Amino acid sequence: MTPSIDGAPGSLVGSEDHVAHQPTDPTAPGEDVRLPRSAFERPRRVLQPLQTFLATEAAGGLVLLAAAVTALVWANSPWRGAYETLWRTGLTLGAEGWTVSQDLRHWVNDGLMALFFLVVGLEIKREVLTGELRTIRAAALPVIAAVGGMVVPAVLYLALNAGGNGRRGWGVPMATDIAFALGVLTLAAGRARGGLKPFLLTLAIVDDIGAIVVIAVVYSRSVAWTPVLVAAALAGVAVLLRRIHVRAGAVYLALGVALWVAVFESGVHASIAGVVLGLLTPAAPFQRPAAVSREAHRVADQTVDDPWPPDADAPQWLSLARLSREAVSPLARLESALHPWTTFVVVPLFALANAGVRLSGDALRGAATSPVTLGVVAGLVLGKVAGILGASALAVRARVAALPEGVTWRRLAGAAAVAGIGFTLSIFVAELAFPSGVLLDRARLGVLVASVIAGGLGFAILRGDRPRGDRRAGDEGRR
Amino acid sequence: MRVERGEELRLPWSRSDRPIPRRVIRPLQSFLETEVASGAVLLAALVIALVWANSPARGAYEHLWSRHLLVRLGRWGVGDEVRGWIRDGLMTLFFLVAGLEIKRELLTGELRNRRAAMLPAGAALGGMVVAALLYLAVNPRSPAAHGWGAAMPTDIALALGVLSLALPRAPSSLRVFVLSLAIADDLGTIAAVALFYSHRLAVGSIALAIGIGAVVFVARRVDIRSSVVYGSLGTAMWLALHGSGVSPTLAGVAMGLLTPAVPFHRPRAVSREAHRIADETVDDPSPPDADAAQWLELARLCRGAVSPLARLEAVLHPWTSYVILPLFVLADAGVRIVPHALTTSSSERVVAGMLLARAVGKPLGIVLGSWVTVRLGRVGLPSGLTWTRILGIGAAAGVPFSVSLFVAELSLPGPLLDAARVGIVVAAGLSGLLGFLLLRTRRGAAGSS
């Protein structure tokens, strides 16, 4: 069971099950305990944050695929008019004289996607503090590979578009879609993925950092400095409040919304506000677990089973609930609260709103000869593989890094191909690089085609490489 | 158990020993925990509103509260002035808490015992009927007559505030009486708002809202617990009622009454889990959040050991008493007291009716209602409750306020509304003083019954 707080999609559990799964606890036979079955049926397991992350990513990839296919079918069906009308519907919030007014597509891209980038910021921070990126030795290979996998596609794209008006799109083939990449890896390699998964995860996170820098620096509209200063001041206030141990979530929520508005007004892409907030989130818990354990014992001893009035113990329970949340770092808490939402709601919504490209004969013919489409496809499929493999080979040859245990060059090639699934972030960058129109459509088409080719290629390489006895184990990822 | 250094619980900023928390926030918090606090905050909001609206800066007052706030999706939108958002939007949360309190009192509180509940119910009924009748006697003609509902309600916070100011060590029976009376009074007001102050009813929208209520009920029955689901359903119900002619705040009352009063988990089972998790987690896990899932699970279980009703009340109560209600008063009580505006005969009569109803009608009605209940229902007065005290409580219950302003807004047109506001504000001072004195002078009689 993934750690999900009340209200996360995963927690919407009906309890007809509870009756069927009466826990059989030898210490208290026949007692109506009404605990959710997860606490009893699932054996306790120490959920490594990484494992949680990977477990949801595989499922997330499938949901995302469904959303993308739905968008494509819808946009090319007789109801395509409804598709455009829906995403062009305006949503306005505001008071006289000051309003935020955008169509639904942009609310998804600028507003909801800020949550996605918030989670990305949290992941980056965690990787740097406690994950692979903590030590130079472990980080060297994925970082170098990622840099190679960003530079080569961009160069390839620019070479194909030199002098053309598609030049601005060089950021499109640089990105990697974590959800899809890990989904394909899980489906293809099953348990044999070994050291490949941390490698790909770290690589994708470095790719994310690259994409964020590109979004912030290259694709920002003309930047207004006053809102930027306001945003910086808000971030400073957040740091200050953290330092003096202010913990009220409402305070940080308000600061976060204000920061988003400031960044939105500045012309820097609003998603950057999410990244900044993610990086600012503390990674250390407020309370020592030992102190909370003591409190837990105390509260468990002092409360009674049938208090009168019925809520006599409520303050004690609520205070223990608060303390045990404070035994978890805000970073992990926020991640476990938001992750199901971004994976299963925000990113699929993004795909639904943005992947609906018209696939008429004319459009396809135009795209087949367009340097933009070709550049994106070449960058994502060839550039990624060449860049990642080349940079890794150089690093290993120069003895800067070594291949992780159990990772062969062939499997590394598979991972490199999978990293060419640019999907979400590539489309995101394309939206920023091109005003809506024929170039945007061609870039999006390129991303879709390249993602399918890269995914298929990666799947084939990884699947073919797997030891025989492991075939069945690979299907576990499908669940 | 010996506590190692650095292993004690860390306090948040607001409870730390830094200068601002020590000198400002902690004293403020301990004040807010007292009985008088919410009444005092309301009073402060009232004074600020009155001073502001009659100061040279009154332009800013009107401008601020009449700004238009808008949410628009395509061709469909909800827009209102700030004042309207507070009255119809934020006050829904206040009524949600009222619904929760009513449900709790009915299930586990004083009103659970139907016989014991008769006295406060009878007193509340008497108070409401006599006050409304007195108002109608002075204002027999429409449209002023339509404001009778504003003469009825009791303000829980202010009545309790007067009681605790006058008798800081009042016996609990007295407090319970006031509380149950105020709650019975709330029920009456809600019924009046639903029945009499809803105009041009859109039957379809109301049916939709009732349907959403049924969905909430079914969702509860199949044990869906996600607060997101209920939050969305509540919002949907509010939207359905918005513009249906019925006050959308009723969505708050309905959701409050639908909130389960039984915890999801047996406390004993959660205790066992708490022991287990406390034993199995370590102080310095590696990676640092290795135990995160367990701790978050424990937090969820602990919350499940408390009924949703108590949880929601604990979350919302501070907001409604210290933010929403004061905001409402701040936005609504700022009457310009311009003598010549009140000299039309109808305005004068609205003011007079309001004063008479509150200062005379309420205490009279409450004593009368109690007396009739005692005689007919053969219930005795609870210990500590004397007839003089009932009279004093009646006077304190005559302090009309936020809810009266709320009903006045619904029922009276512009100039009369201003008159009603003046009446409400003056009556509040008068009744409060009267109640305080009545309860205070009989202080020596404490215990004699």
CB contact under 8 Å between B293 and A333, yes or no, is: no
CB contact under 8 Å between A300 and B275, yes or no, is: yes
Question: For testing the chain A interface, which of B63, B110, B302, B309 should be mutated: the one with the most A CBs within 10 Å?
Answer: B302
B18 touches chain A (CB under 8 A): yes
B233 touches chain A (CB under 8 A): no
B19 touches chain A (CB under 8 A): no
B123-152 average pLDDT score: 89
Among A245, A296, A317, the residue with its CB nearest the CB of B277 is A296
Query: B11 versus A439: which is more confidently predicted?
Result: A439
Q: ipTM greater than 0.95, yes or no? A: no
| Residue A303 sits in the same domain as residue A428 | no
CB contact under 8 Å between B12 and A246, yes or no, is: yes
Categorize the per-residue pLDDT at B4 as very low, low, confident or very high, splitting at 50, 70 and 90: low
- Rounded to two decimals, the pTM is 0.81
| Residue A62 sits in the same domain as residue A200 | yes
Residues of the domain holding A367: 56-95+136-205+346-479
Q: Specify if A110 maps to a domain.
A: no
**Beta-carbon contacts of residue A123 (< 8 Å; ≥ 6 apart):** A53, A205, A208, A278, A335
User: Among the listed ranges A72-76, A233-237, B42-46, B337-341, which one has the minimum average pLDDT value?
Assistant: B337-341
Q: Specify if A45 maps to a domain.
A: no
At residue B184, does pLDDT exceed 80?
Answer: yes
Distance from CA of A137 to the nearest CA of B (A): 18
Q: Specify if A310 maps to a domain.
A: yes
Residue B265: its chain A contacts at CB < 8 A? 33-35
B219-234 average pLDDT score: 88
Distance from CA of A269 to the nearest CA of B (A): 23
B272-290 average pLDDT score: 87
Q: Are A162 and A85 in contact (CB under 8 A)?
A: no
| Residue A368 sits in the same domain as residue A309 | no
| Residue A312 sits in the same domain as residue A408 | no
Question: For testing the chain A interface, which of B68, B69, B300 should be mutated: the one with the most A CBs within 10 Å?
Answer: B300
Residue A244: its chain B contacts at CB < 8 A? 13, 16, 18
Query: B209 versus B158: which is more confidently predicted?
Result: B209
Residue A50 has a pLDDT of: 45
The 3 state secondary structure assigned to chain B is CCCCCCCCCCCCHHHCCCHHHHHHHHHHHHHHCCCHHHHHHHHHHHHHHHHHHCCCCHHHHHHHHCCEEEEEECCEEEEEEHHHHHHHHHHHHHHHHHHHHHHHHHHCCHHHCHHHHHHHHHHHHHHHHHHHHHHHHHCCCCCHHHHHHHHCCCCHHHHHHHHHHHCCCCCHHHHHHHHHHHHHHHHHHHHHHHHHCCCCCCHHHHHHHHHHHHHHHHHHHCCCCCHHHHHHHHHHHHHHHCCCCCCCCHHHHHHHHHCCCCCCCCHHHHHHHHHHHHHHCCCCCCCCCCCHHHHHHHHHHHHHCCCHHHHHHHHHHHHHHHHHHHHHHHHHCCCCCCHHHHCCHHHHHHHHHHHHHHHHHHHHHHHHHHHHHHHHHCCCCCCCCCHHHHHHHHHHHCCCCHHHHHHHHHHCCHHHHHHHHHHHHHHHHHHHHHHHHHHHHCHHHCCCC
| Residue A390 sits in the same domain as residue A315 | no
| Residue A298 sits in the same domain as residue A386 | no
| Residue A383 sits in the same domain as residue A293 | no
Residue B447 has a pLDDT of: 44
CB contact under 8 Å between A325 and B299, yes or no, is: yes
Distance from CA of B247 to the nearest CA of A (A): 23
Average pLDDT, chain B: 84
Query: pLDDT, tens digit, for every residue of B388-403?
Result: 888 888 888 888 777 8
Residues 12-31 of A with CB under 8 A from B: 12-16, 18, 25, 27-28, 31
Q: CA of A132: which chain B residue's CA is closest?
A: B287
Residues 64-93 of B with CB under 8 A from A: 67-74, 77, 82
Among A35, A300, A336, the residue with its CB nearest the CB of B265 is A35
Residue B41 has a pLDDT of: 85
Q: CA of B1: which chain A residue's CA is closest?
A: A294
Q: Specify if A218 maps to a domain.
A: no
Residues 371-400 of A with CB under 8 A from B: none
Q: Specify if A100 maps to a domain.
A: no
Residue B237 has a pLDDT of: 95
Residue A20 has a pLDDT of: 35
Which segments of chain A have a pLDDT < 70? Answer: 1-58, 190-194, 465-479
A244 touches chain B (CB under 8 A): yes
Residues 89-148 of B with CB under 8 A from A: 104, 108-109
Residue A310: its chain B contacts at CB < 8 A? 108, 261-263, 307, 310
Residue A323 has a pLDDT of: 92
Q: Specify if A320 maps to a domain.
A: yes
Q: What percent of chain B has pLDDT over 90?
A: 24
Among A91, A290, A321, the residue with its CB nearest the CB of B303 is A321
CATH of the domain at A407: 1.20.1530.10
At residue B416, does pLDDT exceed 80?
Answer: yes
At residue B291, does pLDDT exceed 80?
Answer: yes
The type of residue at A231 is: A
Residues B239, B231: Cα–Cα separation, whole Å: 12
Residue B67 has a pLDDT of: 87
| Residue A454 sits in the same domain as residue A321 | no
Q: What percent of chain B has pLDDT over 70?
A: 93
| Residue A423 sits in the same domain as residue A357 | yes
Residue A474 has a pLDDT of: 41
Number of domains forming the structure of chain A: 2
Residue A170 has a pLDDT of: 93
| Residue A313 sits in the same domain as residue A357 | no
| Residue A376 sits in the same domain as residue A438 | yes
Query: B261 versus B222: which is more confidently predicted?
Result: B261
Smallest CA-to-CA distance from B272 within B298, B307, B308, B311 is with: B298
Distance from CA of A381 to the nearest CA of B (A): 35
Residue A442 has a pLDDT of: 92
Q: Specify if A131 maps to a domain.
A: no
Structure tokens at B131: 């006050």
According to DSSP, residue A410 is labeled H
Residue B404 has a pLDDT of: 85
Smallest CA-to-CA distance from A193 within A440, A479, A458, A375 is with: A458
Q: Specify if A405 maps to a domain.
A: yes
| Residue A353 sits in the same domain as residue A477 | yes
Residue A454 has a pLDDT of: 95
Residue B158 has a pLDDT of: 74
Residue A190 has a pLDDT of: 66
Residue A135 has a pLDDT of: 81
